[in-house]
């Protein structure tokens, strides 16, 4: 439902932006910038640039041309612990635009790093806000005839307090004709439960005269949480043009009524075919599905919608009846397959990559439904099969003999922990004894998404290999379990009530006493796969 599990032992916030020397000199010589108009460069999220000035021969000669310090911290001590700089700047109209963890929008001169303007949204965040990050902004440009008018270049940001704001790219001032004084309240109609847990953390999508956004939600608070609606607004007026709810066909028949299935990651756009591709998360709550029986369509999916109307075109579910927090966390990648077929690659937290026909959702590389383990929790009806793709880029099982530690006693400690948990490979259901989830909800390919090289048809992915321990706690035992938790569990893990379900949860990264993962390194890799054949490079 949301972005990630927090590692409280992780390092500090990176709030420095570097632009490298050869790029700066290209601008100084009057050569045009290649540009980076969207979060993933193209609307289809390839993160590919044909710029050729920097190559293997000179990359070692690069030196920082300038550094810009955003000054994003400090803000609030408790919120700052969650803050993470995750933005990808965009380069539009000769300006570099970026956002900070607290949704300040900043415009820079790309040659010098000089600040041109900064906008402060004056966030109203409660103490318990789920996320403190922003992955970037989006840009819309008016037709050429209106280029000199105010807000001819509009910069959009979705905020942590659930507003959609339009700014003048020239000045940073709100576009007064958009919504109410430059902003739209996104909490309207979503069945808001907890202010601070309904947010926007990813850059909105732009299609013609529409700005399209999903939402981020705090995990495992309750069964009845906010609706995971995707909405399109008029870029000029802020008028709502269409709404799509991923789980509306069944969620409102449950008691209590489930929510989420939201699109917290980045939406991809195929403007020429009037399509947007929505990556959705799990229905609420993540780790118990006894109330939301069935496969929970279209949670944990990529869904193609008609961009102009929001009409459903097709959907592909990567996980049925999710019990592992396996949201589709990364932006779908749009590319042309080997015979020219419009294609889409879906990267997942499981490390599985699905390659589909972009127009129909039919697999281009094999996908098989395979039997998986059954839940032993009373009332839970886990789905009997899960889709298996032809491509997998991370390990899917962790055994006691795979345990790792810097000392023999730590290795044995980890082996004992793995042995004591239910650990039977990917899709092992949550349990009362505790289940090892590997790949975990922070495994595989997450919000950083993938990059595609069309010349060599290679997909590049930053992958995580981190196990998670998940334990269901009966409602009557939950408060005592939380009070009696060890300092280590409090530091590395989290408790969540899942109100409305018969179980709360405890989940924690599986770390040795020295604070290192219990599986052997590498804990993260760069993987490359040929999307035409499915073979790892």
Q: What is the pLDDT of residues 221-239, one digit of tens each?
A: 999 999 999 999 999 999 9
148-154 CB contacts, 8 Å cutoff, 24+ apart: 150/175, 151/175, 151/177, 151/178, 153/92, 153/93, 154/178, 154/235
Statement: residue 156 has pLDDT above 60: yes
Cα distances (angstroms) measured from residue 293 to each of 40, 238, 441: 36, 37, 21
Statement: residue 29 has pLDDT above 60: no
pLDDT band with cut points at 50, 70 and 90 for residue 196: confident
pTM recorded for the entire structure: 0.94
Give pLDDT, residue 211: 99
Statement: residue 71 has pLDDT above 90: no
Residue 102 contacts residue 76 (beta carbons within 8 Å): no
Give pLDDT, residue 147: 67
- Catalytic choice (168, 245, 325, 327): 325
Which of 1-10, 129-138, 262-271, 314-323 has the lowest average pLDDT? 1-10
Statement: residue 25 has pLDDT above 70: no
Give pLDDT, residue 145: 61
Give 23's contacts (C-beta < 8 A, 6+ positions apart): 53, 54, 65, 110
| CA 73-76-81 angle, 5° bins | 75
Statement: residue 194 has pLDDT above 70: yes
| CA 404-408-411 angle, 5° bins | 30
Statement: residue 12 has pLDDT above 50: no
Q: What is the pLDDT of residues 384-435, one digit of tens each?
A: 999 999 999 999 999 999 999 999 999 999 999 999 999 999 999 999 999 9
248-267 in b/e burial notation, b at 16+ Cβ within 10 A? Answer: eebbeebeebbbbbbbbbbb
Statement: residue 103 has pLDDT above 50: yes
Mean pLDDT of the chain: 92
Indicate if 453 belongs to the active site: no
Which of 8-12, 288-292, 533-537 has the lowest average pLDDT? 8-12
Statement: residue 368 has pLDDT above 70: yes
Give pLDDT, residue 81: 86
Q: Please give the residue that has the higher pLDDT: either 20 or 343.
A: 343
Q: What is the pLDDT of residues 253-294, one digit of tens each?
A: 888 899 999 999 999 999 999 999 999 999 999 999 999 999
Q: What is the mean pLDDT of residues 191-218?
A: 95
Statement: residue 7 has pLDDT above 50: no
Beta bridge partners of 141: 153
Give pLDDT, residue 75: 72
Q: Please give the residue that has the higher pLDDT: either 119 or 29.
A: 119
pLDDT band with cut points at 50, 70 and 90 for residue 125: confident
259: nearest Cα among 329, 194, 184: 194
Q: What is the mean pLDDT of residues 485-490?
A: 90
Give pLDDT, residue 76: 78
Give pLDDT, residue 18: 44
Give pLDDT, residue 128: 76
Statement: residue 155 has pLDDT above 90: yes
Give pLDDT, residue 30: 45
Rg (CA), the chain: 23
Give pLDDT, residue 33: 55
Which of 35-49, 59-73, 332-346 has the lowest average pLDDT? 59-73
Residue 156 contacts residue 169 (beta carbons within 8 Å): no
Give pLDDT, residue 32: 54
Which of 309-318, 393-402, 489-498 has the lowest average pLDDT? 489-498
169: nearest Cα among 186, 157, 181: 157
Length of the chain: 537
Statement: residue 252 has pLDDT above 90: no
Give pLDDT, residue 23: 43
Q: In whole angstroms, what is the distance from residue 13 CA to residue 72 CA? A: 9
Backbone dihedral region for residue 264 (phi beyond 0: left; psi -120 to 50: alpha; all else: beta): alpha
């Amino acid at each position: 439902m949301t972005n990630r599990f927090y590692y409280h032992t992780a390092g500090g916030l990176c709030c420095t932006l570097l632009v490298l020397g050869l790029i700066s000199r290209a601008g100084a010589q009057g050569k045009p910038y290649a540009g980076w108009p969207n979060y993933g460069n193209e609307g289809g999220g390839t993160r590919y640039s044909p710029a050729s000035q920097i190559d293997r021969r000179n990359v070692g000669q690069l030196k920082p041309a300038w550094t810009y310090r955003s000054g994003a911290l400090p803000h609030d001590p408790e919120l700052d612990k969650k803050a993470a700089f995750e933005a990808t700047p965009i380069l539009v109209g000769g300006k570099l635009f970026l956002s900070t963890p607290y949704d300040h929008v900043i415009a820079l001169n790309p040659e010098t790093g000089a600040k041109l303007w900064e906008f402060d949204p004056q966030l109203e965040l409660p103490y318990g806000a789920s996320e403190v990050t922003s992955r970037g902004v989006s840009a819309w440009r008016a037709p050429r005839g209106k280029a000199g008018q105010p807000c001819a270049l509009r910069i959009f940001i979705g905020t942590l307090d659930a507003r959609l704001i339009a700014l003048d790219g020239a000045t940073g001032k709100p576009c007064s004709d958009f919504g109410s004084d430059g902003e739209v309240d996104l909490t309207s109609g979503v069945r808001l439960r907890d202010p601070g847990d309904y947010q926007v953390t990813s850059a909105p999508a732009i299609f013609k005269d529409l700005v399209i956004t999903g939402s981020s939600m705090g995990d495992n608070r309750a069964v009845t949480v906010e609706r995971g609606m995707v909405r399109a607004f008029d870029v000029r007026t802020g008028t709502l043009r269409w709404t799509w709810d991923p789980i509306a066909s069944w969620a409102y028949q449950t008691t209590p009524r489930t929510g989420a299935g939201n699109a917290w990651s980045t939406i991809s756009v195929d403007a020429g075919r009037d399509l947007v591709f929505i990556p959705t998360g799990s229905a609420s709550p993540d780790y118990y599905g006894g109330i939301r029986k069935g496969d929970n369509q279209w949670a944990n999916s990529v869904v193609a919608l008609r961009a102009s109307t929001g009409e459903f075109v097709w959907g592909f579910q990567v996980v049925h009846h999710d019990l592992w927090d396996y949201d589709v966390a990364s932006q779908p990648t749009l590319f042309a397959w080997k015979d020219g077929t419009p294609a889409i690659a879906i990267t997942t937290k499981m490390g599985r990559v699905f390659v589909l026909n972009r127009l129909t959702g039919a697999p281009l590389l094999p996908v098989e439904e395979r039997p998986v383990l059954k839940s032993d929790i009373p009332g839970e009806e886990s789905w009997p099969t899960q889709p298996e793709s032809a491509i997998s880029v991370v390990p899917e099982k962790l055994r006691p003999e795979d345990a790792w530690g810097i000392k023999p006693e730590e290795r044995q400690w980890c082996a004992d922990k793995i042995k004591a948990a239910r650990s039977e490979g990917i899709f092992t259901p949550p349990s009362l004894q505790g289940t090892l989830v590997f790949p975990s909800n922070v495994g595989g390919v997450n919000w950083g998404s993938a990059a595609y090289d069309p010349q060599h048809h290679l997909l590049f992915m930053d992958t995580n290999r981190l196990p998670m321990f998940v334990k269901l706690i009966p409602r009557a035992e939950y408060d005592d379990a939380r009070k009696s938790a060890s300092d280590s569990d409090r530091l590395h893990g989290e408790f969540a009530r899942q109100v409305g379900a018969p179980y709360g949860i405890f989940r924690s990264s599986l770390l040795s006493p020295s604070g290192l993962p219990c599986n052997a390194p590498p804990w993260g890799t760069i993987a490359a796969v040929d999307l035409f054949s499915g073979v790892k490079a």
